[in-house]
Amino acid sequence: MPHLTTNGRIRLLGSADKHLFRDHLLRLDPETKRSRFAMLVSDTFLEAYVETSFSLDTVIYGYIEDDTLRATSELRRVADATSGEAAFCVESDWRSQGLGTALMELVLIAARAQGYQHIYMNCLATNRSMQALARKFSADLTFESGDVVAHLAPQPAEVEAAATTSRWPRLAFDRLRVLLGLSEREHGPASGT
43-55 helix and 18-27 helix, angle to the nearest 10 degrees = 150
Q: How far apart, in Å, are the Cα atoms of 31 and each of 145, 155, 167?
A: 20, 33, 37
Give the fold, CATH level 3, of 8-184.
Answer: Aminopeptidase (3.40.630)
**Segments making up each domain of the chain, as ranges:** 8-184
Question: Taking the model in full, what pTM does it have?
Answer: 0.77
Helix (H, G, I), strand (E, B) or coil at 25: helix
- Which residue pairs, CB below 8 angstroms and at least 24 apart, start in 81-85? 81/115, 82/115, 82/116, 82/117, 82/118, 83/116, 83/117, 83/118, 83/119, 83/120, 84/111, 84/114, 84/116, 84/118, 84/119, 84/120, 85/119, 85/120, 85/121, 85/122
pLDDT tens digit at each of 193 positions of the chain: 555 666 789 999 999 999 999 999 999 999 999 989 988 999 999 999 999 998 888 999 999 999 999 999 999 998 788 889 999 999 999 888 889 999 989 998 998 888 888 889 888 888 888 888 888 888 888 888 878 888 888 865 444 444 445 555 666 666 666 555 554 433 434 444 3
